[in-house]
Structure 1
Amino acid sequence: MIKILFVCMGNICRSPTAEGVFRHMLCENKLEDLVDVDSAGTHGYHVGEAPDLRTQRAAARRGYDLSGIRARKVAPQDIEYFDLILAMDRNSLEALLLVCPPDRTDRLGLFMDYSKNFDDEEVPDPYYGLGQGFDLVLDMVEDATSGLVEFVKERAAMLGSKDYKTFK
């Protein structure tokens, strides 16, 4: 099983969007049994809260249900547990590096590294903007998620998953 964690600052906009879109695309590709996915924030501002309503509405318009996700703060055990910890921006990545043991930094990266159609390194935080930022976040997340799903397929094939045949 491949374990992936998405991280932003508060875990109510970008990282839960990535979690929800990724879960959806995993199911579409019959990969859900091969991946454990979660999201968290570098700060505990919203622990226990559902994603921002604007985030949920934008996601729902595209067929993604984020209502079951609850915000949480990254925990030290996350660094050990997850194989891949993907930050939505450089500030989140820097915060992760501060708590990450030196022998685990290879697990950290930027989510947008999986993007095929955006040159941006970061997913912008839509929290303080008007409404259109949430759609841009979804555009970026869908694109990077598509690349991440391809990575998971390649990784599953490399690991010799017997189930790999079912998601070609």
Structure 2
Amino acid sequence: MTAPVLPAPRTPGRYSIALVCLGNICRSPMADVVLSERVDEAGLSGLVRVVSSGTGGWHVGKPMDPRSAATLTAAGYDATRHRAQQFAPSWLDEHDLVLVMDSANLADVGGAGDRVMLLRELDPVGTGGEVPDPYYGGDDGFEEVLEMVERTSAAITAALQRLLGRP
């Protein structure tokens, strides 16, 4: 797998990634949990900050959707710490990279740019696609999202290791 090229860090030796979906209870918290674990496993936890948010504020302070949490838990992840928060425009200047789940989220944060893109632009499979919202579907949708974020998180982590000069 070839690691994608990430924008340069705003602060040398540190990196901050924000993951964004609609309500911050399904897709972006799943991506946050998985990417955070990959970062920890790579020994980058002191250098890389990962956060998630939603463009809508109606779930602020709540845990992730029980189906997201169950999918993560079944795969061995800890889904208990997440609490939803709302995306703020200031995040565009505070993070090195803002990764959104779909084109509606992309429009909600002001569109694509050097530091703003779809998460799946970094996915080694189906590059450029959207992460489908599993909220109104069955459990298989949550499993599909997990597969997407696991492989994309692996690619992002490899790119972070290269960018931050870590083996």
**TM-score tier (shorter):** 0.7 to 0.9
CA apart distance, 1:76 = 2.3
> Which of 50, 55, 75 is equivalent to 1:37?
50
Q: Which residue of 2 aligns with 1:161?
A: none
8 Å CA contact 1:118–1:140 kept in 2: the answer is: no
CA apart distance, 1:119 = 4.2
3-state SS of paired residue (1:15) = helix
3-state SS of paired residue (1:40) = strand
Query: Deviation string for 1:116-143 (max 9, x for gaps)?
Result: 1234511100000011101000000001
3-state SS of paired residue (2:20) = strand
Name whichever structure is richer in helix by fraction. Answer: 1
Contiguous gaps of at least 5 residues in structure 1: 158-163
3-state SS of paired residue (2:52) = strand
Within 5 Å, which residues of 2 pair with 1:101-116? Answer: 105-116=113-124
Structure 1 runs of 4+ aligned residues shifted over 3 Å read none
> Which of 125, 146, 153 is equivalent to 2:154?
146
Whose radius of gyration is greater, 1 or 2? 1
Is structure 2 residue 164 aligned with structure 1 residue 156?
yes
Query: Deviation string for 1:34-74 (max 9, x for gaps)?
Result: 10110000111201100000000000111111211111110
8 Å CA contact 1:42–1:73 kept in 2: the answer is: yes
> Which of 124, 128, 150 is equivalent to 2:132?
124
When normalised by structure 1's length, the TM-score is 0.87
3-state SS of paired residue (2:110) = helix
> Which of 38, 41, 50 is equivalent to 1:25?
38
Percent of counterpart pairs with the same letter? 37
8 Å CA contact 2:122–2:128 kept in 1: the answer is: no
| Cα RMSD (Å) | 1.4
Q: What is the alpha-carbon distance in structure 2 between the residues aligned to residue 116 and residue 110 of structure 1? A: 13
- Which amino acid counterpart does residue 116 of structure 1 have in structure 2? P
Within 5 Å, which residues of 2 pair with 1:54-73? Answer: 54-73=67-86
Q: What is the alpha-carbon distance in structure 2 between the residues aligned to residue 87 and residue 58 of structure 1? A: 20
Q: Which residue of 1 aligns with 2:9?
A: none
| Aligned pairs, number | 154
Query: Deviation string for 1:70-107 (max 9, x for gaps)?
Result: 11110122111111000011110111116x9xxxx321
Structure with greater contact order relative to length (CA < 8 Å, sep ≥ 6): 2
Contiguous gaps of at least 5 residues in structure 2: 1-13
